[in-house]
Structure formats: C-alpha cells, structure tokens
Amino acid sequence: MSETGQPMNRREAVKTTGALLGGVLITSAALTACTREPRNVGVGVLNAADQDLIEEIADTLLPTTPSSPGAKAAGVGPIINLLLTDCREPVDQKRIVDGLQQFRQTVGDHFASMSAANRENWLRRIDGEAIAKGPNHYFPLVRELSLQAYFSSEIGMTKALRYVMTPGKWVGCVPLQPGQAAWA
C-alpha cells in the first residue's frame, strides 16, 4: 500500500525509479566531463620525457609561422600520446617508444635546446634513414601522429586551416590560390 492508502502501481514505481536513476547518472557524467584536468600527461604509452620529446619533434616539423602557431603551442604532446595509446596497435606503440630511445642515442638529450636549423638538419637526416630503411622505421609514424594531432587541435583547425564555423553549400571543386590555406 502507498501513503494514500491505494495499492502501489508497479509500472509507475519502475518508471519513477528509472527516471531517478537516469537523472543521477546523467548528472554525474556531466560533472565528470566538465573537469579541467589535462588528459594523458605522462600517462599512456609515452612517459613524460617521451611526450615532451615528441612534442619538440612535432614543433620542428610544424613550427610557428607568422600566420599560425606551431605544434607546441597547440599542445600536441598529450594528443599524440592519446592517439598512440588509444588508436594504435602495440607494434606501432613499441616502434615509437623504441624509436624515441634511438633518437636520444643518436641526437642526445639536448634536442630541445638546439637551434631551429640544427633541429631541422637532424630531422632531415633521420628522415633520410627512414626512407632508406623502409616502412618499419619510426619516423614516418611520428610525422603522421604529429600531423593528426596538430590539425585536429583548435589551433590547427582555426589558424593553420581556413575554418568556417557554419557550413554553407557544398561545392565539390574549389580553386585554390597559390599560398592559400587548405580548408578544414
């Protein structure tokens, strides 16, 4: 019996309980999603030192220009770590971790403090090695992850690419002017 003295309606009780639990779950999920903690900083496949190094490599590949900030400004280190951890096979993960260790042995731990020209020269040498060794070298994957992380970031989408918030009509073939940014 309910408080009003009438028999309890099972359907109403189940519906009310379901709505109450659904509200609690949605509220807790929304509050959890709104936290401002950085994701994957030193967590995942890459440790903090590897994440910093791969961000420096990405910033050398995608430097700051007068028209757009570089990869480091976009914060690609944690994004690369997330992409590597969540979206790549263990074979690729091992290839990157081992490749960064090999990179340190070849270049040293002072890559971040080198001049931009020296950093570019080192990456050109390593790219030459990658071309000679074939598809199993780590550097093409580092480049690919750097591009994915940068161009999926807010900075990459809005500063490096032409970004239109509200889409207009679809035009299949749009001529580009020389030097014009590609469309996001």
**pLDDT for residue 39:** 47
Closest CA to 147 of 57, 52, 62, 77: 62
For residue 145, what are its two tokens?
Answer: 């992850």
Closest CA to 54 of 145, 140, 124: 145
Q: What is the mean pLDDT of each run of 10 residues along the chain (184 residues)?
A: 63 69 61 49 82 96 94 95 95 96 93 95 96 93 96 91 75 80 75
**pLDDT for residue 161:** 87
At 66 the three-state DSSP class reads: coil
Using alpha carbons only, how large is the chain's radius of gyration in Å?
A: 25
Give 81-126 pLDDT, tens digit per residue: 999 999 999 999 999 999 999 999 999 889 999 999 999 999 999 9
For residue 157, what are its two tokens?
Answer: 């989408």
**pLDDT for residue 76:** 96
**pLDDT for residue 40:** 43
Rounded CA-CA distance 142/139 in Å is 5
**pLDDT for residue 170:** 72
CA geometry: angle at 147 spanning 146 and 153, to 5°? Answer: 90
Q: Report yes or no on whether pTM surpasses 0.75.
A: no
Rounded CA-CA distance 147/162 in Å is 16
Rounded CA-CA distance 54/125 in Å is 17
Total residues belonging to the chain:
184
